[in-house]
Amino acid sequence: MATFHSFCLMVVVMISVSLMLKTGLSYEVPAEPSPSPSDETDYAPRPLSSYEVYLQHCAAKLYPDCGDQVFSAIFFGNDTVSSTCCEKLVNEVGKRCHDDMTKYSLQSPNLRKNQFQILQRSESVWNYCLYLDHPALQPVHAPSIEPVGAESELFL
């Protein structure tokens, strides 16, 4: 009888230890709340359109330092584009890419309110860079990159 009692006690201890380990090692992962229909936002990246891929290739030619200079000069009017970056803009990016990147950026609601000034500065930056890169096309005086709201001159 003593052996049967010891055996039962051993089984009870083993079951207790087993349950304690199982309970202690497991945990419940709280279920994510299901979004309400008004909160449904798709954060998954979507594939880029062929136009966006084209613009990425354009921007990659200016990345990183020159892209910052050109972007700041066009969208904020607070940076001067270096001659090295002007050379890249004119010879590697080209007028079409330059214009397309500017127009695409203007789709942002934050930038749209200054669209006229941004387009003026974009043209002014292009003309300034063209002047620096091709001195034979010198206008009577060098084009300047003008602050927001100022009239810009277009040089051919």
Mean pLDDT, rounded, of the chain: 76
- Per-residue pLDDT reduced to its tens digit, 76-96: 998 889 999 999 999 999 999
What pLDDT, on a 0 to 100 scale, did the predictor assign at position 67? 92
Confidence of residue 150 (pLDDT cuts 50, 70, 90): very low
How far apart CA 74 and CA 105 sit, in angstroms, is 11
What pLDDT, on a 0 to 100 scale, did the predictor assign at position 116? 95
Q: Where are the domains of the chain?
A: 50-137
Mean of pLDDT values over 50-76: 92
Question: Which residues neighbour 154 within 8 Å (Cβ) at sequence distance 6 or greater?
Answer: 123, 127
Confidence of residue 97 (pLDDT cuts 50, 70, 90): very high
Alpha helices in 36-108 (DSSP H): 50-60, 65-75, 83-88, 94-105
Q: What is the DSSP string of 16-43?
A: HHHHHHHHHH--PPPPPPPPPGGG----
- Per-residue pLDDT reduced to its tens digit, 12-61: 445 655 555 455 555 555 566 665 555 566 678 889 999 999 999 999 99
